[in-house]
Structure 1
């Protein structure tokens, strides 16, 4: 039988205490699961926003999904509404890319996104294309601004630096994860490189060296 993670989230303590928002989500997911013959295991974050993917129960769910296919005991994650999972198209696109690579399903019932079906995959691909287009447009605007500044004789350094929170998270992950595992987890959490790109093993390695050099340490960690 297919087993899905049912993820629930409410953003305020009041909603968490009343239970109304959570029960509505649970009911929607359960009815959808029943029609598909799924078993559901529940993960729930209470009183937390969807501004980032760094939420305890969501991270626990993603970690469970990160297992190798033969070792994994769940087949995907389902939410009643996309905004319960993420309010960022970029973050959601990252989850979709990871799920496709790891071969687990993502279901957002309100939008008809169900990557276990051909139609759902089509909707997901459209959303990922929009996110990619958005990143490219931002990149083009940044490049044009830099070129204009250079023509005016202005000195241009790095456009962006790695946020401290991202750097701290990277080093924390490297204590227990490989380079590839760290890159996957950072992407799953919606954290990007200093230039806004997705993480790779190589970019994790370079960022780690820069961070360790800044702190004056260079520990030996798993590759």
Structure 2
């Protein structure tokens, strides 16, 4: 038989290997572990899984054993395809948690339910992430790779400070004029102004004014 596993929350690869090996021993199966460390189960295009499926399809193994369903797939459509493939090629999917075997009807039904739940959870997390990013954009906060303040703004801040302006005065003027901060926001704070003055660019510009 072949096994599929992935690094997962709360369970190391070694722990998963041990659990799979123990189950294989209990069932009297020969076990070959195939690991896809660092790959997401939302995509079936994983080298370890592809190798295991090829062996299963060719008759070189009888079952795909995994710790949990979401270690195999988090997509209802993908998992349904795997079930159809397993039936056509005469191999099965066996999970440790919950304990089920797709060779029996109850196990097959439960596996479909778990796949749907995994896909729902992934979609829900994605939706919440998108909502959070949209909210930050609405608040005028840059979302994405960090921005840097243009050199002319750095020079202005350094010069204003050298001419006696306080951090509060500099921050207020920049905010009033709508000058973007390093993070893409529109509200300058004392710490953001101080951050520019302490930055590499700020110290370099301040050289002649120090």
Q: Taking structure 2 as the reference length, what is the TM-score of the superposition? A: 0.49
Greater relative contact order structure (CA < 8 Å, 6+ sep): 1
Higher CA-based Rg: 2
Q: Taking structure 1 as the reference length, what is the TM-score of the superposition? A: 0.47
